[in-house]
């Protein structure tokens, strides 16, 4: 189990560090304990350990990998109460959502444990005197730098696919949320993976994360976080000519047409912006509504937003705190700089009592009549804030939906099947949902962005393609 000091996990063992920093509870501003501030030497130790383990792991059979991945899923489920509590207290998210994250993490290991046994190369019919086939081979050691909003899900989906493919891995969890990633490393070790197959280096992003991104022993990098940091990661990978998967920001839109089933849509519209306090790259942060149903949609959303309970994540409210006081300042800043728009509900921190008065809380917020070209409609807020605009026809709706630098998710709410297919084709986004949003955990669904939302795909069978490289063999008969 995790001790009061959260340490790195390298080569099957906890590794102490001379320097530490405090892990802050976002609900109270108090410390949850110390976290090891690992060094570049620790990162080198982790990468070296992964490389040593990978020499044998790459030779393991799909059956063996499957067995260990499925066993990891079983152990995650057995530890779900502990994992959910750690995730909720680290991130501030409601306990119910943290349980969902633990379950989804288990599902990733189970999914890739089954998928790897049916993952094949191809035979290419080039001629009667040639036998040509392809092999999918691992990169070696993969590096994973993940965000703080879904630490258990994000590291689980990346590492499960990497291990299934024959790689070994080193992960750097976010500064604010290290504990479940270290606990996952313990579970993977317990499941029977070789020591060093999965290593965790805790610490500060500018130190530990940078050392991992720059390490010469990393053969593949994946990153989840902001577009600015993603660009830095991509440059580091390009300098060494290694592939990357970047899952970056989003400014996702819900397009609500006049013929939509409003009562069915509204609960999903609300969930899309309040889940995880809006700190989701795929949050439905733009509400684009046909002018004929605008008033009805806004009124019904406001009614639901104002019923949401707010509190400490481990008390399982409808909405927990933002990740930190820094993030609270960021979200508040968007409201302070608002030049056009009407704050219909929310717009500030709620007044809470006791130790929660120092927490990083922000009320569910809907801002109407926002200029689509303004900062608040163009930039990722990463808080429970949705901005609303109207449109008059399909072409205007499409122009608004595509009118940002991002392209991660969009949703179309309509009863017109032809319109739904046209919008799905024309919208620049990696995922388009029709009359639903987010599709739950989406383990089976390829996930990734267009434009500045990143490149590469995680989740689904496609992730196995990301973590392997094709070798073509041509044999003269």
- Does 309 fall in a domain? yes
Does 90 score more than 60 pLDDT?
yes
**Active-site residue identified among 186, 247, 380, 458:** 247
If asked whether residues 241 and 322 sit together in one domain, one would say no
Catalytic: 247?
A: yes
If asked whether residues 282 and 369 sit together in one domain, one would say yes
If asked whether residues 244 and 257 sit together in one domain, one would say no
Percent of the chain with pLDDT over 90: 98
Domain of 48, in residue numbers? 5-248+454-476
pLDDT in tens, 109-153: 999 999 999 999 999 999 999 999 999 999 999 999 999 999 999
Q: What is the mean pLDDT of residues 79-94?
A: 98
Does 220 score more than 50 pLDDT?
yes
If asked whether residues 124 and 198 sit together in one domain, one would say yes
- Does 352 fall in a domain? yes
Q: How far is 311 from 361, CA to CA, in rounded Å? A: 8
If asked whether residues 292 and 164 sit together in one domain, one would say no
Token pair belonging to 471: 């070798």
Task: List the CATH number of the domain containing 426.
Answer: 3.40.309.10
Q: What is the mean pLDDT of residues 296-310?
A: 98
* Confidence category of residue 1, pLDDT binned at 50, 70, 90: very low
- pLDDT value at residue 440: 65
If asked whether residues 50 and 123 sit together in one domain, one would say yes
- Does 448 fall in a domain? no
**Minimal CA–CA distance to 408: which of 275, 208, 269, 251?**
251
- pLDDT value at residue 3: 47
pLDDT in tens, 446-456: 999 999 999 99
**Minimal CA–CA distance to 28: which of 318, 352, 346, 363?**
352
- Does 171 fall in a domain? yes
pLDDT in tens, 435-477: 999 876 789 999 999 999 999 999 999 999 999 999 999 999 9
Q: How many domains does the chain have?
A: 2
Q: How far is 171 from 281, CA to CA, in rounded Å? A: 20
Token pair belonging to 245: 């998967």
Task: List the CATH number of the domain containing 95.
Answer: 3.40.605.10
* Confidence category of residue 351, pLDDT binned at 50, 70, 90: very high
- pLDDT value at residue 53: 98
- pLDDT value at residue 439: 72
Q: How far is 156 from 223, CA to CA, in rounded Å? A: 13
- pLDDT value at residue 272: 97
- Does 285 fall in a domain? yes
- Does 178 fall in a domain? yes
Q: How far is 193 from 187, CA to CA, in rounded Å? A: 9
If asked whether residues 284 and 206 sit together in one domain, one would say no
Give the number of other CB atoms < 10 A from CB of residue 93.
28
If asked whether residues 214 and 116 sit together in one domain, one would say yes
Half-sphere exposure of 247 (CA within 13 A, CB side): 27
- Does 158 fall in a domain? yes
Q: What is the mean pLDDT of residues 236-258?
A: 96
- pLDDT value at residue 4: 77
- Does 165 fall in a domain? yes
If asked whether residues 263 and 224 sit together in one domain, one would say no
* Confidence category of residue 230, pLDDT binned at 50, 70, 90: very high
If asked whether residues 216 and 87 sit together in one domain, one would say yes
């Amino acid at each position: 189990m995790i001790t009061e000091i959260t340490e790195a996990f390298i080569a099957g063992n906890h590794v102490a560090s001379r320097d530490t920093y405090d892990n802050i509870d976002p609900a109270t501003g108090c410390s949850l304990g110390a976290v090891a501030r690992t060094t570049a030497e620790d990162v080198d130790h982790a990468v070296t350990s992964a490389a040593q383990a990978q020499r044998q792991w790459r030779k393991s059979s799909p059956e063996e990998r499957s067995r260990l991945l499925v066993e990891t899923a079983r152990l995650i489920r057995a530890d779900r109460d502990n994992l959910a509590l750690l995730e909720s207290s680290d991130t501030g998210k409601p306990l119910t959502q943290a349980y969902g994250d633990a379950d989804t993490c288990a599902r990733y290991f189970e999914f890739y444990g089954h998928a790897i046994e049916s993952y094949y190369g191809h035979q290419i019919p080039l001629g009667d005197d040639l036998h040509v086939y392809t092999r999918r081979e691992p990169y070696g050691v993969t590096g994973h730098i993940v965000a703080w909003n879904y630490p258990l899900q994000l590291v689980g989906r990346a590492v499960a696919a990497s291990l299934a493919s024959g790689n070994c891995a080193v992960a750097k969890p976010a500064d604010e949320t290290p504990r479940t990633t270290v606990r996952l490393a313990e579970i993977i070790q317990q499941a029977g993976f070789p020591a060093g197959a999965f290593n965790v280096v805790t610490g500060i992003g500018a130190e530990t994360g940078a050392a991992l991104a720059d390490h010469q022993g990393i053969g593949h990098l994946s990153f989840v976080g902001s577009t600015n940091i993603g660009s830095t990661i991509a440059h580091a990978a390009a300098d060494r000519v290694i592939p990357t998967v970047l899952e970056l920001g989003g400014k996702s839109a819900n397009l609500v047409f006049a013929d939509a089933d409003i009562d069915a849509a509204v609960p999903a519209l609300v969930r899309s912006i309040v889940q995880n306090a809006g700190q989701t790259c795929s949050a439905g942060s733009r509400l684009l509504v046909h002018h004929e149903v605008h008033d009805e949609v806004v009124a019904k959303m406001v009614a639901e937003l104002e019923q949401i309970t707010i509190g400490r994540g481990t008390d399982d409210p409808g909405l927990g705190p933002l990740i930190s006081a820094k993030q609270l300042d960021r979200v508040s800043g968007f409201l302070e700089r608002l030049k056009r728009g009407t704050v219909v509900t929310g717009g500030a921190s709620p007044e809470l009592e006791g130790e929660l008065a120092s927490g990083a809380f922000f009320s569910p917020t809907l801002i109407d009549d926002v200029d689509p070209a303004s900062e608040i409609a163009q930039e990722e807020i990463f808080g429970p804030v949705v901005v609303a605009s109207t449109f008059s026809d399909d072409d205007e709706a499409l122009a608004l939906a595509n009118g940002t630098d991002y392209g991660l998710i969009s949703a179309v709410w309509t009863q017109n099947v032809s319109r739904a297919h046209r919008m799905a084709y024309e919208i620049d986004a990696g995922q388009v949902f029709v009359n639903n949003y987010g599709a739950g955990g989406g383990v089976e669904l390829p996930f990734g962005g267009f434009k500045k939302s990143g490149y590469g795909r995680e989740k689904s069978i496609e992730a196995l393609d990301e973590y392997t490289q094709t070798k073509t063999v041509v044999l003269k008969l």
